[in-house]
Structure 1
Amino acid sequence: MLEAAVLMDPIGGIQPAKDTTFAMLLAGQRRGHRLWVFTLAELWVRDSRAWGRLWPVEVWDRATDYYRLGAPVHRPLAELDLVLMRKDPPVDLDFLLACHLLDHAGTWVVNDPRSLREANEKLFALHFPEFLPEHLISRDMAALRAFLGEHEEIVVKPLNARGGEGVFYLRLGDPNIGSILETVTQWGRHPVMAQRYLPAIREGDKRILLVDGEPIATAMLRVPAADDFRGNLVAGAQPQAADLNARERAICARLGPVLRERGLLFVGLDVIGGYLTEINVTSPTGAREIQRFSGIDAADLLWQRLEQGA
């Protein structure tokens, strides 16, 4: 039996039917592990040791009344076998500081906090340019306009958001271009990622989950709503089961060893029309949908790996 604490958003505010962190709690409990939960506000360091205000938790796979917390205790994280870092983005200052505090956990942290700081979910993909669409990262609005002029249709996205927040589709000649670029760059204060628009998004944005660098057998295709271009479930995209093709398996084979070396044990890749668009390392989702489609439990596969030790 492992004793594990899950650092997450408040459990009372999640959607259990869709939440991958909740799937991890269910799988860990089913496998007989002792589980605790806590939030960023309940993490601190004293005398170079990380502590948490930990709540013992029981979970049930149902829509309401799905968890019960016991009385909290203050414990050094080093007394645990592992900590699962599953705080949702945005990757803001609080998130990054929590990763620094977790450097002092004195136990195994998954995903590795140093790699969480280094592997920005938009920018980490730049290490694998052979799989990327044409792209530009800049805060220079003239350069972004020139990139749009070159490709005629682009997508621009902030570098620290999630779930399609702040993502815009731009078409050459749109009178809103100036306003959108001012908004997304905050008048040139923040760089953004611009990518050539991929028409294959109409067929869906494929989420591929990897456990310890190995892709699970079934992926999730997120098909945008008719009145939206974003392949995000929170933006109205609909999930479908999907297989991996040869190109996607090649992407996984290239990335897998790098993810494993960096201690990124649970990762979600986003692929559109054979192009890698994001590498999600903070709290990737999709496990619940994939389990409903195929019966494959990515959360259980993760626990099987965790039981092997660091």
Structure 2
Amino acid sequence: MRVAVLMDPIAGIKPAKDSTFAMLLSAQARGHECWVFTLDQLSLHAGQAWGRVQPVRVEDVAEHFFQLGEAADRPLADFDCVLMRKDPPVDMDFLHACQILEHAGTWVVNDPAAIRLANEKLFPLQFARWLPPYLVSRDPAQLREFLREHGEIVVKPLAARGGEGIFYLHGGDRNLGSILETITGRGSHFVMAQRYLPEIRQGDKRILLVDGEAIPGAMLRVPAADDFRGNLVAGAQAVAAALTPAEEELCAEIGPELRRMGLLFVGIDVIGGRLTEINVTSPTGAREIHRFFGVDATVRLWERIEAGR
């Protein structure tokens, strides 16, 4: 197949941890022709989405891990498949890119309309029995009341990634007013508040699902001793973790909806058996899970894409 991948600049990724890089490696190994482009190289004219794309060859080494060919402007309909792998934040440019990709004239994975609908913090609300107590609000007074009710909470922006902008709050925090003003933009931005889950000290589990089926094996991200965030970019350490029976039940409940929406490659986050996020934009974890368990989620993704819609 001929495949185009919309991603962040490839020169800036960390190949040992990057799931998009793993997808390129797997595609190349299966004989597919890969091209890459970035958000600023996406356009829409004459009723078609176009990309200024470059052919790419990748190698699984620490340095000099890619080679790019000459750039060319091509309609995305020239490709058998387009992977949407742009990292958040899910800002207006990101959402507009998803709208443009709806005019690709070919299969886009994950489905761009579904990405727009499935906010990674709000989408889990469809599976409420698995959630910790939560509040979505932009009102600092409501957030203060939620904190009084639960004693310890976490507040997070709705469109960021990698632990950016997340705060742990408790009733005695003298910075409480300033933090709530900052994260809500003085009441102008909605945020997600969740009851703090002390099980985070044991780790935040990333489970990958391909076409609604859970990969057998997960990555547990254990926060650094001086942090509460289970994000690798925030200093958490990745360790191997099996899926519990409850987590398998959770995946079985979520999977059919992911499949229905065209969300082929998804990462869910679970802390202490509670679902906290459903990541549909550019979820990571494939490289670590492959190293831990020998199961390559990206191979399963290509098997599904090769099988067709």
Using the size of structure 1 for normalisation, the TM-score is 0.99
| 2:268 corresponds to 1:266 | no
- Secondary structure of 2:168's counterpart equals strand
Aligned partners of 1:4 and 1:68: how far apart in 2?
Answer: 16
**Which residue does 1:185 correspond to in 2?**
184
**SS of the counterpart of 1:88?**
coil
AA aligned to 1:39 is T
Q: Deviation of residue 79 (structure 1)?
A: 1.3
Q: What SS is found at the alignment partner of 1:128?
A: helix
Distance 2:36 2:234 in 1: 28
For residues 27-176 of structure 1, the aligned pairs below 5 Å read 27-176=26-175
Give the SS at the match of 2:247. helix
**Cα distance, 1:266 vs structure 2:** 0.1
**Match of residue 14 from structure 2:** 15
Return the offset for 1:295.
1.2
**Structure 2: how far apart are the matches of 1:139 and 1:42?**
35
Q: Secondary structure at the match of 1:208?
A: strand
One-letter amino acid matched to 1:235:
A
| 1:80-136: CA deviation from partner (whole Å, max 9, x where unpaired) | 101000000000111000000001000000000000101000000111101000000
Alpha-carbon distance in 2 for matches of 1:184, 1:46? 38
Distance in 1 (CA, whole Å) between partners of 2:228 and 2:203 is 9
Shift of 1:173: 1.6
CA distance, structure 2, for counterparts of residue 175 and residue 74 of structure 1: 54
Task: Give the superposed CA RMSD.
Answer: 0.5
Shift of residue 74, structure 1, vs aligned partner: 1.2
The offset of 1:176, in angstroms, is: 1.0
Deviations 1:177-225 (A, max 9, x none): 1111011111111010000000100000000000000000010000000
Match of residue 242 from structure 1: 241
- Is the partner of 1:115 in helix, strand or coil? helix
Secondary structure of residue in 2 paired with 1:305 = helix
Q: Distance in 2 between matches of 1:97 and 1:151?
A: 38
Shift of 1:9: 0.3
Tell me the amino acid that sits aligned with residue 105 of structure 1: A
Taking the aligned partners of 1:45 and 1:55, their CA distance within structure 2 comes to 18
Q: Secondary structure at the match of 2:303?
A: helix
CA distance in structure 2 between the partners assigned to 1:194 and 1:11 by the alignment: 34
Q: SS at the partner of 2:194?
A: strand
Unaligned runs of 5+ in 1: none
Moved over 4 A (4+): none
Matched residue of 1:169: which SS?
strand
1:214 aligned partner: 213
CA distance in structure 2 between the partners assigned to 1:175 and 1:287 by the alignment: 40
Q: What is the percentage of aligned positions where both structures have the same residue?
A: 68
1:23-43 Cα offsets, whole Å, 9 max, x none, are: 000000001001000011111
Letter of the 1:147 counterpart: F
- CA distance in 2: counterparts of 1:84 and 1:112, whole angstroms: 9
Partner of 2:228: 229
**How much does 1:17 deviate?**
0.6
- How far, CA to CA, are the matches of 2:26 and 2:285 in structure 1? 15
Q: TM-score w.r.t. structure 2 length?
A: 0.99
Alignment partners' CA distance in 2, 1:178 and 1:246: 41
1:270 is paired with a residue whose SS is strand
Q: Distance in 1 between matches of 2:51 and 2:229?
A: 37
Supply the distance in 2 between the matched residues of 1:292 and 1:214 (Cα, whole angstroms).
19
